Amino acid sequence: MPVNPPETMRQLRYDGAGGPEVIKLETAPVPRPGPGQVLIEVVAAGINRPDLMQRQGKYPPPKGATDVPGLEVSGRVVALGEGVDAPALGDEVCALVISGGYAEFAVAEAGQCLPKPKALSLTDAGGIPETFFTVYSNVIQRGRLAAGESFLVHGGSSGIGSTAIQIAKAQGAKVFATAGSAEKCRFCEELGADHAINYREADFAEEIARLTEGRGVDVILDMIGASYLQRNLASLAVEGRLVLIALMGGYKVDGLNITPVMLKRLTFTGATLRPRPKADKAEIAQGLARDVWPKLDAGEIRPVIHATFGFEEARKAHELMESSAHLGKILLLTGR
Ligand SMILES: NC(=O)c1ccc[n+]([C@@H]2O[C@H](COP(=O)([O-])OP(=O)(O)OC[C@H]3O[C@@H](n4cnc5c(N)ncnc54)[C@H](OP(=O)(O)O)[C@@H]3O)[C@@H](O)[C@H]2O)c1
């Protein structure tokens, strides 16, 4: 049975911008769902690299959103806003939230909630929404990856990468990944990548050319940006699509030769999920429910949970992500 939400709850906030030391545990009023929203009693909140950027002051929450960090949660629905038919009170769900996930109770748009997959615990479901919404919308919808095509994801061992490998493989694509160590490459191949490239030991563009006999790949999901752009263009096949979702390697490129765009009829696009309108996110949720949820329900694909931390240990959780030593997802548990 759903609990009656209490008046107050524990939440994490950033006390200014800086390192993990600015993360503070505090008590705050439980938020109330508005029209079209639900209140979730949070079991787990996923940590994503954008949370670290927000902590450093480089990624402020959109106007009107709470400054409590956290982009995804799992838990039980405990209150419904006006006009919500589904999910229902007591349902176990995971949800994409615009912010406010690092709390014992979080408000989510009803259209951004999806049922807990049958094969997963409610805790592990907290590691789904941010990477699954991002990968599905960028690789399947924007990148139009089709069965029989080939796909390259950079940062294959990241939260995003581990999801991308599985979704692309389930789509029937040949999958390549880059990662920064032999252990990370092994992890990518165990998840289903046909070939992982240790970018610290080999030039990924030379390896892609060798592995595809000079053809290149059909779709690249890139989180590195400027420092990879020329080599990404070189690694695409004719009619290839490059989808940019982050800029860990910078955003300005000197001396770029854009000729391959023309000669190979390439598409260069990108997106960032958080500021997209509610209607877009609801449409992505519907696509996920149709195309991906049956595979999560059957246990064919899953979020890979590297580690979990209590709220008191949130600083350690951020330090772990900052070290990039993790494989897959890191979760915060509320203990509820
Ligand atoms: N556009 C969107 O809508 C959207 C949504 C969610 C996330 N993102 C972005 O996607 C990226 C992955 O997010 P995530 O939550 O999956 O993060 P994550 O698990 O921390 O993954 C980041 C990975 O990138 C690799 N990496 C490469 N260059 C790096 C650098 N200069 N600094 C740190 N790591 C580097 C690291 O692995 P190696 O050891 O292999 O280098 C690291 O494991 C982030 O940049 C995030 O901002 C974008």
Tell me the domains of the chain and their CATH numbers.
8-128+274-333 (3.90.180.10), 132-269 (3.40.50.720)
What is the CA(3)–ligand 1 centre distance, in A?
36
What is the CA(161)–ligand 1 centre distance, in A?
8
Residue nearest to atom 37 of ligand 1 (CA): 155
Alpha-carbon span 204 to 228, nearest angstrom: 9
Are 7 and 306 in contact by the 8 Å Cβ rule? The answer is no
- Residue 2: the pLDDT is 59
- Residue 4: the pLDDT is 86
Q: Which tokens in the block code for residue 122?
A: 């409610």
What is the CA(92)–ligand 1 centre distance, in A?
29
Tell me if 246 CB under 6 Å of ligand 1. Answer: yes
Ligand 1 probe mutation, 128, 132, 160, most atoms within 8 A of CB = 160
Task: Name the pTM for this structure.
Answer: 0.98
Instruction: Quickly tell me which residue has 């509820």 as its tokens.
Output: 336
Ligand 1: which atom is nearest the Cα of residue 244?
1
- Selection from 118, 127, 141, 67 nearest residue 94 by Cα: 127
Report the 3 state secondary structure along 164-194.
HHHHHHHCCCEEEEEECCHHHHHHHHHHCCC
Alpha-carbon span 208 to 200, nearest angstrom: 15
CB atoms within 10 A of CB 189: 17
Are 91 and 114 in contact by the 8 Å Cβ rule? The answer is no
Tell me if 138 CB under 6 Å of ligand 1. Answer: no
Residue 320, Cα to own-chain centre: how many angstroms?
Answer: 17
What is the CA(9)–ligand 1 centre distance, in A?
31
What beta strand segments (E) does the chain contain? 8-14, 23-29, 37-47, 72-80, 92-96, 105-109, 113-115, 150-153, 174-179, 195-198, 217-222, 236-244, 267-270, 305-310, 329-333
Ligand 1 probe mutation, 48, 134, 135, 141, most atoms within 8 A of CB = 48
Q: How many angstroms separate the Cα of 168 from the Cα of each of 115, 163, 164, 235, 297?
A: 22, 8, 6, 17, 17
What are the pLDDT tens digits along the chain (336 aa)?
Answer: 556 899 999 999 999 999 999 999 999 999 999 999 999 999 999 999 999 999 999 999 999 999 999 999 999 999 999 999 999 999 999 999 999 999 999 999 999 999 999 999 999 999 999 999 999 999 999 999 999 999 999 999 999 999 999 999 999 999 999 999 999 999 999 999 999 999 999 999 999 999 999 999 999 999 999 999 999 999 999 999 999 999 999 999 999 999 999 999 999 999 999 999 999 999 999 999 999 999 999 999 999 999 999 999 999 999 999 999 999 999 999 999
Are 84 and 70 in contact by the 8 Å Cβ rule? The answer is no
Tell me if 159 CB under 6 Å of ligand 1. Answer: yes
Tell me if 134 CB under 6 Å of ligand 1. Answer: yes
What is the CA(291)–ligand 1 centre distance, in A?
25
DSSP codes joined into one string, 94-162: EEE-SS--SBSEEEEEGGGEEEPPTTS-HHHHTTSHHHHHHHIIIIIIIS---TT-EEEESSTTSHHHH
